[in-house]
């Protein structure tokens, strides 16, 4: 069954935002990222991966407001078959946006799409971390 397993927030200071959610709701820090796309912190409640990201440039942010946008940026579905899900997305009016990371055999490979309203979402067969590495 398909499940929502990932939510990403675009924030100006991922560490400050992480501290807030850890102290306020007891979320666990499960990792960090420093990539060509964004810097960030990953948190989890044990079920959902919450990414707090500061995008490096407008192009990779891919939203109105660019890298300075603050708010819910995208969310992700863990699916049984990425190929089947991709076909369904495109058949129903969604469009491909980009791959992350470029190597499809990595554990956290995901594909980014836009729904018919332009909202970004991910699909992944492997899902996202919900426990510390």
Any domain includes 102: yes
Considering its fold, how many domains does the chain have in total? 1
Per-residue pLDDT, 107: 58
132 domain-assigned: no
Residue 7 lies in a domain: yes
Within-domain flag for 91:
yes
The per-residue pLDDT for 106 is: 55
Look up tokens 């709701």; give the residue.
25
Q: Are 96 and 111 in contact (CB under 8 A)?
A: yes
Q: Is residue 130 part of a domain?
A: no
Question: Domain span at residue 50?
Answer: 3-124
Residue 133, in any domain of the structure: no
Please state the pTM of the whole predicted model: 0.76
pLDDT along the chain (133 residues), means of 10: 90 93 91 91 94 89 84 86 90 85 62 84 85 76
DSSP state of 130: -
- Structure confidence at residue 84 (pLDDT): 92
Cα Dmax for the chain: 43
What CATH code is carried by the domain that includes residue 54?
3.10.180.10
* 48 within domain boundaries: yes
Q: How large a percentage of the chain has pLDDT more than 70? A: 92
Give one DSSP letter per residue of 87-118, joined into a string: HHHHHTT-EEEEEESS-TTSTT-EEEEE-TT-
Residue 75 lies in a domain: yes
């Amino acid at each position: 069954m398909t499940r929502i397993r990932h939510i990403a927030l675009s924030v100006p200071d991922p560490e400050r935002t992480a501290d807030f959610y850890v102290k306020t709701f007891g979320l666990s820090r499960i990792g960090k990222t420093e990539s060509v796309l964004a810097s960030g912190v990953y948190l989890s409640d044990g079920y959902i991966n919450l990414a707090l990201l500061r995008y490096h440039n407008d192009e990779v942010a891919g939203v109105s407001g660019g890298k300075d946008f603050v708010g819910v940026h995208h969310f992700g579905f863990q699916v049984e078959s990425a190929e089947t899900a991709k076909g369904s997305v495109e058949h129903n009016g969604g469009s491909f946006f980009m791959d992350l990371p470029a190597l499809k055999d990595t554990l956290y490979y995901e594909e980014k799409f836009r729904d018919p309203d332009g909202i970004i979402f991910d699909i992944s067969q492997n899902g996202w971390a919900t426990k510390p590495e």
